[in-house]
């Protein structure tokens, strides 16, 4: 092992039932280095980190650390901590009701005794050394999210951390707070700490990192010096050019909505989830999409349109008239439907039946004090089970017993039942088989032919190109371009992500 190398992972593989999460992955980290670990959702980043920190046991491979002749065995997070490997997660796991010092040292005293006066002094020394603008006796909850992140890092560093893993630490920070965090990261780097930085913000990678390792589909794509890796090449490495070609539907796609009236229009729309104010409109019968790397803000943008997140600004018109949409029920009253990205968390009601899940949105619009009769509900369920070819033993089967693809069809049926004029589909084909995926794509195009406007989001670029006639390209929660016609290509999407800067569509 080179004198500069502090961590090597070689041939790391990990399988779960039916899923190969990692296959023969290598990773190398040097001291005095900030190393980005990049890849789309499902690439294997989290699994690799969990193997390194002892959350998961590896199936094959070895892990070596500087100063140790033999490969190390990491069976738990405590093992990792004792070896000098610390992780600070996106969700802060400290206690906001305790002081900064208490958060830094709690759980570290021998025989349950801690000299808190001495520890407060020690905490202030660490905070000053790391230039963290906080006091040891200050309650953590009074600090900004950025300072809380820094306190978590200070705790890790004081525990003789040699390898620091930062998992999406900037996702909830504003620009000033991000720069404070980067200053701390650079300071730690100068003192010999090796930092693994996981983020979806490309600009931040190029601002603070020295190297990039890219994973895709559980395999290593490559390790690159930041100076040798233009953004467009990084995006290409992350997305891959070997995506399955499912363009059977190309001939079926028509340029829809070109001369039609505008159904929905937003001006300077923003939400509490940090989406930059954006302009957006969609015409009757149009299929458009939001595209960009994971974390670009594509999902947050459509959640703002549906008011699934708190709307903080903007003007909205529906069918040419001013409309107030501040909560999902307002959107539903304006005949807007939304199939969310998180099917299990935000979509299905697991313990309810297929029938109950299908009628849910329409029942909300009607009011729960005016329930549908059993006969009406069963007729609705029968109609859409047949229309969408939902495979279920019965309409009374709990939806949790269905496959992922059929659960997705049930949620689609839920919104079709409301007779929407505008339908937002966020990752409607994720995690389902190719046959069901094509069925859903055909249904989207059929809806457009019938005059329904559709916004479609998918992590698979080829699928977006197959279904959409216009793409809004996003980066770092900001719209950076719009593509249509002959511009619709994977190469053009990647170039726009790498270099676009407009936010009006």
User: What does the pLDDT read at residue 242?
Assistant: 39
* Domain layout of the chain by residue ranges: 5-239, 244-330+467-505
486 CB neighbour count, 10 Å cutoff: 7
User: What does the pLDDT read at residue 243?
Assistant: 37
24 CB neighbour count, 10 Å cutoff: 13
- C-beta separation of 14 from 47 below 8 A: yes
CATH superfamily of 5-239: P-loop containing nucleotide triphosphate hydrolases (3.40.50.300)
Cα torsion angle, 295, 153, 101, 180, sign:
negative
Orientation of helix 354-366 relative to helix 374-387, angle to 10°: 120
| Nearest CA among 419, 292, 411 for reference residue 341 | 411
Distance of alpha carbon 114 from its chain centroid, rounded? 40
Please give the Cα distance from 30 to 210 (Å, whole number): 10
Q: Do domains 5-239 and 244-330+467-505 have the same CATH topology?
A: yes
Which residues pair with residue 245 across a beta bridge?
Answer: none
Instruction: Give the position of tokens 């229009």.
Output: 265
Helices vs. strands in the chain: H and E counts, helices first: 16, 19
Q: Are strands 194-198 and 60-65 parallel, antiparallel or unpaired?
A: unpaired
267: burial class by Cβ within 10 Å (0-12, 13-18, 19+)? middle
User: What does the pLDDT read at residue 110?
Assistant: 53
| 244-330+467-505: CATH architecture | 3-Layer(aba) Sandwich (3.40)
| Nearest CA among 480, 49, 484, 460 for reference residue 231 | 480
Could you tell me the strand order of the sheet in which 19-30 lies?
19-30, 5-16, 60-65
- Cβ partners under 8 Å of residue 230, min gap 6: 498
68: burial class by Cβ within 10 Å (0-12, 13-18, 19+)? exposed
pTM to 2 decimal places = 0.61
Please give the Cα distance from 427 to 341 (Å, whole number): 5
- Give the DSSP H or E segment for 236: helix 231-239
Q: Tell me the average confidence (pLDDT) per consecutive run of 10 residues in the chain, 505 residues long.
A: 85 86 95 91 86 94 91 92 86 82 74 71 86 88 83 79 88 77 90 91 90 93 93 80 42 57 94 88 93 86 93 93 93 92 80 92 86 91 88 88 82 90 89 68 88 89 87 90 89 83 53
User: What does the pLDDT read at residue 231?
Assistant: 83
């Amino acid at each position: 092992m080179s004198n500069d190398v502090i961590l090597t992972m070689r041939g790391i593989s990990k399988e779960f039932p039916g899923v190969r999460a990692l296959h023969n992955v290598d990773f190398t980290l040097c001291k005095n280095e900030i190393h980005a670990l990049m890849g789309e959702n499902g690439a294997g980043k989290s699994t690799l980190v969990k193997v390194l920190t002892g959350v998961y046991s590896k199936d094959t491979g070895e892990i070596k650390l500087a100063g140790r002749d033999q490969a190390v065995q990491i069976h738990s997070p405590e093992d990792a901590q004792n070896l000098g490997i610390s992780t600070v997660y996106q969700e802060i796991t400290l206690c906001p009701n305790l002081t900064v010092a208490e958060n830094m040292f709690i759980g570290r005293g021998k025989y349950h005794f801690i000299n808190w006066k001495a520890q407060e002094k020690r905490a202030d020394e660490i905070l000053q050394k790391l230039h963290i603008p906080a006091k040891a006796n200050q309650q953590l909850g009074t600090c900004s999210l950025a300072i809380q992140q820094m306190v978590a890092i200070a705790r890790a560093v004081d525990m003789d951390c040699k390898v620091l893993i930062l998992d999406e630490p900037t996702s909830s920070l504003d620009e000033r707070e991000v720069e404070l965090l980067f200053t701390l990261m650079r300071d730690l780097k100068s003192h010999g700490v090796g930092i693994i930085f996981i983020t979806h913000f490309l600009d931040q990678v190029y601002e603070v990192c020295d190297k990039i390792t890219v994973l895709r589909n559980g395999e290593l794509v490559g390790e690159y010096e930041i100076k040798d890796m233009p953004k467009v090449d990084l995006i290409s490495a992350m997305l891959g050019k070997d995506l399955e070609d499912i363009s059977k539907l190309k001939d079926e796609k028509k340029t829809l909505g070109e001369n039609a009236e505008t159904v929905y229009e937003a001006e300077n729309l923003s939400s509490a989830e940090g989406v930059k104010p954006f302009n957006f409109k969609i015409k009757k019968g149009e299929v458009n999409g939001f595209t960009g790397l994971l974390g670009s803000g594509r999902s947050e943008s459509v959640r703002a349109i549906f008011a699934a997140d708190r709307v903080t600004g903007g003007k909205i018109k529906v069918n040419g008239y001013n409309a107030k949409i501040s909560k999902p029920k307002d959107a539903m009253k304006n005949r807007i439907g939304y199939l969310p990205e998180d099917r299990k968390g935000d979509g299905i009601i697991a313990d309810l039946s297929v029938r109950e899940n299908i009628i849910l949105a329409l029942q909300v619009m009607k009011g729960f004090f005016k329930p549908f009769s059993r006969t009406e509900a069963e007729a609705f369920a029968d109609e859409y089970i047949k229309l969408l070819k939902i495979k279920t033993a019965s309409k009374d089967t709990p939806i949790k017993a269905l496959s992922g693809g059929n659960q997705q069809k049930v949620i689609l049926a839920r919104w079709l039942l409301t007779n929407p004029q505008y339908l937002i589909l966020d990752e409607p084909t994720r995690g389902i088989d190719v046959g069901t995926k094509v069925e859903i794509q055909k249904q989207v195009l059929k809806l457009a032919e019938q005059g329904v406007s559709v916004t479609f989001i998918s992590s698979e670029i080829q699928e977006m190109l197959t279904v959409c006639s216009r793409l809004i390209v996003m980066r770092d929660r900001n719209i950076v371009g719009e593509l249509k016609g002959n511009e619709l290509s994977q190469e053009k999407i990647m170039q726009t992500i790498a270099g676009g800067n407009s936010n009006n569509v």
